[in-house]
Copies of this chain bind each other. A is one copy, B any other.
Amino acid sequence: MAIKLSTAEERRPLVIAAAITAFARTGYRGTTVADVAAEARISSAYVFKLFPSKEQLFVGALDACYDRVVESLGHGVEHATNPTPDGILDSMGGAYAELIADRDLLMLQVHAQSAVEVPEIGAALRRGYRRVTEFASTRSGATDAAVQRFIAFGQLCHLVATLGIDDSSEAWAATLAAGIRHPDFTAAAPGSAAGSSTGGNAA
């Protein structure tokens, strides 16, 4: 494949996108560079020309993941209908829920968490959560407790999606998944569907 030649600088982000998909599927250790290469429709030898190591490739994918998460939170701020701190946080939650509906960005974060012991990956993960937390805090103006709860319910959201219990009929699963939107939402309104998706209705 790759009939048309492109420059390395053009190709790199495409490989990152392929890496996100591949690593999201089977994690850092469970995914081979050949898997990523196949997803990107290039040879694995060329992946190593574009990235120095599997580790750096994963870090690149994770950084790109958080770029998109922060961007998504920004959209949440812009489309907030209720301009109070909690309203903004809620809108951010809605935007985030929409972003991770395809599960790749979500699973990548879960898998990254399981690879923290790799120093570069641990650092990238802390960098990502730092960006998200600071962005949520400064752009919403909410209290630390509200921001903490925002992240806590984000983590719950990751758990529910990982377990695949979004639409289970079992009672325990329904308890955990309550208010967390199904992936098959109507893609229309970014801000409106937010509701209580990531923790509005606690207390």
Interface residues in chain A, defined as those with a beta carbon under 8 Å from any beta carbon in chain B:
25-27, 29-30, 110-111, 113-117, 122, 125-126, 129-130, 133-134, 137, 144-145, 147-149, 151-153, 155-156, 158-159, 162-165, 170-176, 178, 199, 201-203
Contacts and interface: CB of A to CB of B under 8 A. Distances in A.
Contacts of A134: 171-172
A137 B175 contact: yes
A33 to B, nearest CB: 15
Contacts of A125: 163
B203 A175 contact: no
Given A130-B172, A176-B133, A155 B159 contact: yes
Contacts of A114: 27, 110-111, 113-115
State the main secondary structure of chain A at its contact with B.
helix
Nearest to A133: B172
A199 B116 CA distance: 25
A151 B122 CA distance: 24
A165 B126 contact: yes
Contact of A129 (B147, B172, B178): B172
Nearest to A146: B202
A113 B151 CA distance: 18
